[in-house]
C-alpha cells in the first residue's frame, strides 16, 4: 500500500505559518530554547506583522514581532530591515534559510532571525543565541522557488499602487499606464484576487486590501525579478553633481534612487545616481558624457511606466520606486532615508484597509 505524502502549501498565510513553526522547532532542537506563537491578532501587532512570538529560556522571556519571508536574497535585505524597523517592539525575521554571509550581515545590523535549518540570532540580554552554517534538511532543498508575480505583473501592481483611482478603470487603460499587454492585466487581477489583495463588487467596483502587505511584496519582488531585467548598465559621470542640470523632459528620463531621495527628503548625500529612461538611452549618454564603467557611480535603468504621478517633482520617479531602490542597496543610511520616504509619501498609498 502506498503511503500518502503530505503536500504542504507553497503560498499564502498557511505556508508562512508552516515556515514559522518549522523554524521554532529547529530553534529548540538546536539550542534548547523554546518559543511559542502568542495568540495575538497580527492587526494588533503594530504595522500588521505576520505573528508575535515569545522566546523562553529558564525564567527569562522575550517577545518579538515577526516578519516571515519564504526567501532572503541579498537584494531584499534592506527592505526586510526597514519592515522590522517600523515596529516599536523588537522585530524578528523568520525565513526558510539564511546563508552564513547573510547571517553575519544580519548580526551586524542586530536583526534577530530564525530559519528552518536551525540558524538563529537573538541578542536580548540575558538571551544570546548565534548559530550559523547549518544546512537545510534535504526535503526543504527540493522545495520549489516561490514567485509572487511575473515581471509584467509587477508593472501592473506598481501602477495600481501609485494610481489608486485607476483601479476601477477598464483593463485597456490600466495596460497603457503599466506598459503591458492587455491580457497581462487580466491574469494580474486574477492573482491579486487569489492572494487576497483584491475585492470585486461588480465589474468596475474593485478595491485593494492588505495594501501594506502588497506594497512590501512588490518591493521584494521588484528587486529580485523586474529590476534586473530593466538594468541597462553602469557608467561614470565627469563630475558628481552632473545630474543637477539635466534636461529630464527632453530625454524622457527621470531621476531615481539616492539622488531622488535627496530631493524628496533633504536628508541624504547621494553616492550613486540612478536614472530611469524610456527609449534609446544613447543620446542621453552622449549629451552628459557618461562613460561605460562597471564600477561607475551612475546606473541607467529602463523606465517601464507610462504615467505622471510625481506631483511637485515631475523630474523624479514615483516615490514607491525611490523607496524600492534605496532598500535594494541594504545600506544603513539608505534604509533610514527609505523610512522617511515611506512615512512621508507611501503611508497614504496603503492607508487603512
| pLDDT number for residue 9 | 40
For 270-314, write each residue's pLDDT tens digit.
Answer: 999 999 999 899 999 999 999 999 999 999 999 999 986 556 788
Q: Which residue has the higher pLDDT, 68 or 141?
A: 68
| pLDDT number for residue 88 | 80
Mean pLDDT throughout 53-82?
84
How would residue 140 be classed by pLDDT, with cut points 50, 70 and 90?
A: low
| pLDDT number for residue 1 | 36
pLDDT at residue 176 above 50? yes
Residue 337, Cβ density class (10 Å: 0-12 exposed, 13-18 middle, ≥19 buried): buried
The pTM (predicted TM-score) of the whole model is 0.69
User: Reduced to 3 states, what is the DSSP secondary structure of residue 61?
Assistant: strand
Take residue 97 and report the three cell numbers written for it.
534559510
| pLDDT number for residue 142 | 43
| pLDDT number for residue 161 | 94
Measured between alpha carbons, how far is 64 from 232 in angstroms, rounded to an integer?
41
Q: Identify whether the C-beta of residue 24 lies closer than 8 Å to the C-beta of residue 114.
A: yes
337: β partners: none
User: C-alpha distances in angstroms, 264 versus 56, 248, 300, 343?
Assistant: 43, 17, 20, 12
Q: What is the DSSP letter of 316?
A: B
Domain regions of the chain by residue span = 12-141, 151-350
pLDDT at residue 148 above 50? no
Mean pLDDT throughout 59-81?
84
Measured between alpha carbons, how far is 287 from 100 in angstroms, rounded to an integer?
44
For 306-343, write each residue's pLDDT tens digit.
Answer: 986 556 788 999 999 999 999 988 888 999 999 999 99
| pLDDT number for residue 189 | 86
Mean pLDDT throughout 226-234?
94
Rg over CA atoms, the chain = 22
Q: Which residue has the higher pLDDT, 349 or 138?
A: 349
Measured between alpha carbons, how far is 262 from 269 in angstroms, rounded to an integer?
6
Averaged pLDDT score across all residues of the chain: 84
115: β partners: 95
How would residue 236 be classed by pLDDT, with cut points 50, 70 and 90?
A: very high
* Class at the top of the CATH hierarchy for domain 151-350: mainly alpha
| Among the listed residues 135, 93, 136, the one whose alpha carbon sits nearest the alpha carbon of residue 111 | 93
Neighbours of 191 (CB within 10 A): 17
Region at 311 (left for phi over 0; alpha for psi -120 to 50; beta for the rest): left
Q: Provide the percentage of residues in the chain whose pLDDT is more than 70.
A: 87
Amino acid at each position: 500500500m502506498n503511503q500518502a505524502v503530505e503536500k504542504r502549501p507553497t503560498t499564502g498565510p498557511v505556508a508562512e505559518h508552516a515556515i514559522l513553526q518549522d523554524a521554532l522547532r529547529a530553534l529548540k532542537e538546536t539550542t534548547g530554547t523554546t518559543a511559542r506563537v502568542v495568540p495575538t491578532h497580527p492587526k494588533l501587532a503594530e504595522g500588521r506583522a505576520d505573528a508575535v512570538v515569545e522566546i523562553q529560556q529558564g525564567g527569562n522571556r522575550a517577545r518579538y514581532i515577526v516578519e516571515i519571508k519564504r526567501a532572503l536574497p541579498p537584494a531584499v535585505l534592506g527592505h526586510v530591515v526597514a519592515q522590522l524597523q517600523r515596529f516599536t517592539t523588537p522585530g524578528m525575521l523568520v525565513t526558510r534559510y539564511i546563508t552564513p554571509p547573510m547571517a553575519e550581515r544580519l548580526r551586524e545590523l542586530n536583526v534577530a532571525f530564525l530559519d528552518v535549518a536551525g540558524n538563529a540570532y537573538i541578542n536580548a540580554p540575558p538571551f544570546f543565541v548565534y548559530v550559523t552554517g547549518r544546512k537545510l534538511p534535504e526535503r526543504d532543498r527540493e522545495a520549489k522557488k516561490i514567485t509572487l508575480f511575473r515581471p509584467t505583473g509587477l508593472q501592473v501592481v506598481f501602477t495600481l499602487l501609485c494610481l489608486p483611482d485607476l483601479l476601477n478603470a477598464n483593463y485597456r487603460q490600466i495596460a497603457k499606464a503599466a506598459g503591458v499587454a492587455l491580457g497581462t492585466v487580466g491574469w494580474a487581477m486574477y492573482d491579486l484576487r487569489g492572494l487576497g489583495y483584491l475585492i470585486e463588487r461588480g465589474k468596475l467596483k474593485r478595491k485593494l486590501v492588505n495594501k501594506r502587505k502588497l506594497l512590501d511584496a512588490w518591493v521584494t519582488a521588484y528587486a529580485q525579478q523586474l529590476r534586473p531585467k530593466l538594468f541597462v548598465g553602469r557608467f561614470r559621470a565627469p563630475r558628481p553633481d552632473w545630474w543637477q542640470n539635466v534636461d529630464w523632459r527632453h530625454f524622457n528620463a527621470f531621476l531615481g534612487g539616492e539622488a531622488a531621495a535627496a530631493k524628496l527628503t533633504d536628508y541624504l548625500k547621494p553616492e550613486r545616481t540612478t536614472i530611469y529612461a524610456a527609449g534609446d538611452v544613447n543620446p542621453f549618454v552622449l549629451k552628459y558624457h557618461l562613460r561605460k564603467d562597471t564600477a561607475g557611480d551612475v546606473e541607467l535603468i529602463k523606465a517601464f511606466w507610462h504615467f505622471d504621478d510625481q506631483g511637485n517633482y515631475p523630474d523624479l520617479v514615483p516615490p514607491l520606486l525611490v523607496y524600492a531602490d534605496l532598500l535594494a542597496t541594504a545600506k544603513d543610511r539608505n534604509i533610514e532615508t527609505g523610512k522617511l520616504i515611506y512615512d512621508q509619501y507611501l503611508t497614504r498609498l496603503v492607508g487603512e484597509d
